[in-house]
Amino acid sequence: MGIKLCFAFVAHPQSNRQAERANAEILKGLKTRTYDELSKHSFGWVDELPTVVWANRTTPSRATGETPFFLVYGAEAVLPAEVTFGSPHVRACQEEDQDARWQQDVLYLEEV
């Protein structure tokens, strides 16, 4: 797959640009969700952090065209509401066929 493993020193975070880019995206999301023009300082970022991280993990990347969630787990994220109300994506899922589908997905990823 052409994966290159690089180690970054904790004392020098500038050398790890991928982590810095991810942190910048999360900070940008927090700023847009918590900015309050009157106070200029916002303290509600802790409440918004899970939402921003979820949005980051389920947004497709321009480089790969896939979401980080899909690249880690091999399946798209499903919201609890989709499970409760039975979305078409959930209805199409069949537990007994998951092993065969997983094998097909692995082969597909190797091709890509």
pLDDT in single tens digits along all 112 residues of the chain? 677 877 766 666 666 777 788 889 899 988 888 876 656 666 778 888 888 998 888 889 888 888 888 888 877 887 777 777 777 767 776 667 777 777 887 777 776 6
**Shared-domain flag, residues 29 and 59:** yes
**Shared-domain flag, residues 57 and 30:** yes
Identify whether 3 is part of a domain: no
**Shared-domain flag, residues 15 and 48:** yes
Domain count, the chain: 2
| CA–CA separation, 52 and 72 (whole Å) | 18
Identify whether 73 is part of a domain: no
Identify whether 98 is part of a domain: yes
CB 74 within 8 Å of CB 105: yes
Confidence (pTM): 0.60
> Which residues span the domain enclosing 82?
78-112
Identify whether 70 is part of a domain: no
CB 33 within 8 Å of CB 51: yes
Identify whether 92 is part of a domain: yes
